[in-house]
Amino acid sequence: MAEILRCNAASGAYDITIGKGVWEKFASFPGRKLLVRDGNVPNPGIEADGEIVLTPGEQYKTFAAVESICRRAAQLHLTRKDLFIALGGGVTGDLTGFASAIYMRGVRFIQIPTTLLAMVDASVGGKTAADLPEGKNLIGAFHQPEAVLIDPGFLKTLSFTDLTGGMAEVVKTAVILDRQLFDRLEAAGESSVLAPDFDSFYVELIKRCCQLKAQVVESDEKENGLRAILNYGHTFGHAVEQKSLFSIPHGAAVAIGMNAAGILAAELGMWSSSEAERQLELLKKLRLPVTVPAEFAPAELLEIMRSDKKNDSSGIRLVLPEKIGSAKTVSGIPEKMMLKAWELCHD
Ligand SMILES: NC(=O)c1ccc[n+]([C@@H]2O[C@H](COP(=O)([O-])OP(=O)(O)OC[C@H]3O[C@@H](n4cnc5c(N)ncnc54)[C@H](O)[C@@H]3O)[C@@H](O)[C@H]2O)c1
Ligand SMILES: [Zn+2]
């Protein structure tokens, strides 16, 4: 039985359907269809009017890829009434969403996420993007999908790194919004990644994360306030990602970033050091990295954080936990405290 959730975003409402084989529902959407597929994901049987296969990898999340999607649509003479279908992870979803936001000033699109990260986070909420050599996600648009079809069966072929990386975003969601979800992850422990149960445990995780993400998007679609808490672990994490030249994948970097943010919050007395410790232990159980490679100097990481696009005139803006299940955005934290957090977070 498929589960159906609703995301009532201000610019458009849509269903998020979760269950075995739900990708087949693509056929019920009107219009001619362009399938945009990640090169590592075989087509399960989506019959479209045209297809474009993307070269996998964050380094190909470029405006050139967006242009190639739009050109394929133009070659097929697709119109504003037609539909793009994204089949892949967060990279494919972000690129297809961006192309659909700008092709003929906007066409409809649906998301069929195939990574855990995309199922629990990227496919819901309408943020679309491409990277520039100057930085990640610097161009994009808010453009909500018409539907999100999540079949956890796709997870069976995912690499261990991509599975644990997706789990980092699940931990993020739990720490900022849902203490009960955190307890469940803790109780499941390492078996959740070493012997993953995609038929029930993961369905529950995906459902809960989508529900929470939809609620946040409903209350703040364009990130004027609350939505920013979804960036927990990401300001620290992006610094690690960038410093590693993206050899440390996003989810792993976010895990390190959450540990650094957790240490800082404990130093500031925002949450207890025992809560920071619980977060650390959970990340370790999920086989995620929690420390920065020794050769990454704290001062260099801080320098990267200074150019984060979420900063304002009061300096580096961070999301920090108040307790497990609740977080808030703070700015004006002395940089020497951030340096100390990085130091405490080293190998
Ligand atoms: N729009 C948003 O709100 C949002 C939120 C979070 C992250 N993101 C973006 O998402 C991206 C990260 O997403 P991701 O982790 O899914 O990365 P990804 O799309 O690069 O996928 C990771 C890897 O898994 C492969 N893959 C995909 N599905 C597979 C499957 N079923 N079996 C085997 N391999 C498969 C891909 O080819 C790739 O090598 C980043 O670019 C990030 O900025 C966007
Ligand atoms: Zn993320």
Q: Is the CB of 235 under 6 A from ligand 1?
A: no
Q: Is the CB of 56 under 6 A from ligand 1?
A: yes
pLDDT at 207: 98
- Point out the ligand nearest to the CA of residue 116: 1
Please tell me the distance from the alpha carbon of residue 68 to that of residue 333, in angstroms, as a whole number: 43
Handedness of CA 108, 167, 140, 143 (dihedral sign): positive
Q: What is the pLDDT of residues 24-34, one digit of tens each?
A: 999 999 999 99
pLDDT at 230: 96
pLDDT band at residue 310 using 50, 70 and 90 as cut-offs:
confident
pLDDT at 315: 80
Query: In the chain, which segments carry CATH 1.20.1090.10?
Result: 164-187+225-344
DSSP string covering 171-183: HHHHHHH-HHHHH
CA of 118 to the centre of ligand 1 (A): 6
SS3 130: strand
Read off the tokens for 65.
């890829």
pLDDT band at residue 250 using 50, 70 and 90 as cut-offs:
very high
231 in active site: yes
Give the right CATH number for 164-187+225-344 from 1.20.1090.10, 3.20.20.450, 3.10.510.20, 1.20.120.420: 1.20.1090.10
Query: In the chain, which segments carry CATH 3.40.50.1970?
Result: 3-157
pLDDT at 1: 79
Average pLDDT over residues 243-261: 95
Residue 70 has pLDDT above 90, yes or no: yes
- Point out the ligand nearest to the CA of residue 210: 1
pLDDT at 191: 97
In terms of average pLDDT, the best of 86-95, 133-142, 330-339 is 86-95
8 in active site: no
241 in active site: no
Average pLDDT of the residues of the chain: 95
Per-residue CA distances from 204 to 25, 121, 238, 299 (Å) = 21, 14, 28, 41
Give the atom of ligand 1 at the shortest distance from the alpha carbon of 58.
Answer: 20
Residue 328 has pLDDT above 90, yes or no: yes
Residue of the CA atom closest to atom 5 of ligand 1 = 122
Q: Is the CB of 44 under 6 A from ligand 1?
A: no
pLDDT at 224: 86
User: Which of 20, 199, 16, 219 has its CA nearest to residue 118?
Assistant: 16
Residue of the CA atom closest to atom 6 of ligand 1 = 122
77 in active site: no
Per-residue CA distances from 9 to 13, 171, 248 (Å) = 5, 24, 33
pLDDT band at residue 311 using 50, 70 and 90 as cut-offs:
confident
Among the ranges given (20-29, 80-89, 132-141, 177-186), the one the predictor scored with the smallest mean pLDDT = 132-141
Best residue among 63, 94, 119, 248 to mutate for probing ligand 1's pocket (most ligand atoms within 8 Å of CB) is 94
Per-residue CA distances from 51 to 35, 47, 54, 81 (Å) = 5, 9, 10, 17
Residue 179 has pLDDT above 80, yes or no: yes
Among the ranges given (17-21, 113-117, 133-137, 325-329), the one the predictor scored with the smallest mean pLDDT = 133-137
Average pLDDT over residues 327-344: 94
Please tell me the distance from the alpha carbon of residue 317 to that of residue 315, in angstroms, as a whole number: 6
Say which of 37, 250, 285, 317 is annotated catalytic: 250
Best residue among 16, 36, 38 to mutate for probing ligand 1's pocket (most ligand atoms within 8 Å of CB) is 38
- Max Cα–Cα distance, the chain, nearest Å: 59
Rounded to the nearest 5°, which phi and psi values hold at 84? -100, 145
Q: What percent of the chain has pLDDT over 90?
A: 92
E-strand stretches of the chain? 3-9, 12-18, 33-38, 50-54, 83-88, 108-113, 127-132, 135-142, 147-150, 318-323, 326-330
pLDDT at 347: 78
The count of other CB atoms within 10 Å of the CB of residue 255 is: 33
Average pLDDT over residues 302-316: 80
The residue that leads in pLDDT, 309 or 239, is 239
Q: Is the CB of 94 under 6 A from ligand 1?
A: yes
pLDDT at 204: 97
Residue 338 has pLDDT above 90, yes or no: yes
Average pLDDT over residues 77-92: 98
CATH topology of domain 3-157: Rossmann fold (3.40.50)
Average pLDDT over residues 144-166: 98
Average pLDDT over residues 280-293: 97
CA of 110 to the centre of ligand 2 (A): 20
